[in-house]
Amino acid sequence: MLPCGWTMPNLKASLLVVDDEPAIRKTLSVLLSALGYAVRVAPNGFSALDAMRDEIPDLLLCDLYMPGMSGFELLSVVRRRFPSIRVIAMSGAFSGMAVPPGVAADAFYEKGKRPSTLLRIVQTMMRPPRSLVIHPPRSNAPIWIPTNGHNTSGEPYVLISCPECLRAFPQVPDKSPVAMLDTKCAWCSNPIHYAIVHSADPVSPQDSAAATSPEPHRPLLSDYASGVPRAAAPAASASGN
């Protein structure tokens, strides 16, 4: 039985849920299937693109922070290749109902809010186009690009694929805090609007140092046999003495 106020879709619309957390994929699949939608799931952006090659969904629900291809990157690709797909972005890293800047989505769901909030957004998105009230301009979405490490000079760089000539070229972004950046293709001079994907949980220098430093000696259970823990054995010298 559907909750009071919910209606079954007239036609079995196709939904694709993309999230790297199995529990979220399962929960949303159950809830949306109960409302009469045909639901498929994918664990990351690459799997989602593969699923869309088989069948283009009517609505895409996508997490933003995922390993491999992030939701930022996936939605940028979807907006360019499948502009008819309606998109709901999901994340716990942003608050409110507004679509985060630069995200190529029609609506946003803040993870952690009541599931009924998401279900209402879905039903609103699946109404005829004249009823859609959340629909930012599609042309302003940047190309989202992950960092590719550091070049020989030690500077961080990104590898940009031009959507016009399809050739790739490296780019050292400036240190400006601006989220959206602009450049020109090194091959065809096509203007490119892009943004850099940053990890949701960056590793601090202290954490990195702790990960590479040797772990201090911890007394074992047997060390307490005599009542006093023994000190760690000194490292053997190079001469073997």
> pLDDT tens across 100-115, in order?
988 999 999 999 999 9
Say what the pLDDT of residue 164 is.
Answer: 64
Beta strands in the chain (DSSP E): 14-18, 38-42, 59-63, 86-91, 107-110, 143-150, 156-161, 168-171, 180-184, 191-197
The residues, ordered by sequence, that sit 6+ positions from 140 with a Cβ below 8 Å of its Cβ are: 102, 193
What's the distance, CA 174 to chain centroid? 23
Global pTM exceeds 0.95:
no
Flag whether pLDDT at 220 surpasses 90: no
d(CA 189, CA 194) in angstroms, rounded, equals 15
Superfamily name with CATH number, domain 14-136: Response regulator (3.40.50.2300)
Could you state, in order of their start, the residue ranges of all structural domains in the chain? 14-136, 142-197
- Check residues 127 and 192 and name the one with the higher pLDDT: 192
Residue 124 near residue 161 (C-beta atoms within 8 A): no
pLDDT tens-digit series, residues 66-93: 988 889 989 988 998 889 999 999 999 9
Flag whether pLDDT at 241 surpasses 80: no
* Helices and strands: H and E segment counts in the chain: 5, 10
* Res. 17 pLDDT band, cuts 50 70 90: very high
Q: What is the mean pLDDT of residues 116-135?
A: 74
Task: Give the CA distances from residue 154 to residues 116, 176, 204, in Å, rounded to whole numbers and listed in that order.
Answer: 48, 18, 18
Say what the pLDDT of residue 25 is.
Answer: 96
Backbone angles phi, psi at 239, to 5 degrees: -85, -10
Residue for token pair 């994340």? 91
The residues, ordered by sequence, that sit 6+ positions from 84 with a Cβ below 8 Å of its Cβ are: 56
* Res. 156 pLDDT band, cuts 50 70 90: confident
Flag whether pLDDT at 62 surpasses 60: yes
Average pLDDT, the chain: 77
Residue 99: count of CB within 10 angstroms of its CB: 19
* Res. 158 pLDDT band, cuts 50 70 90: confident
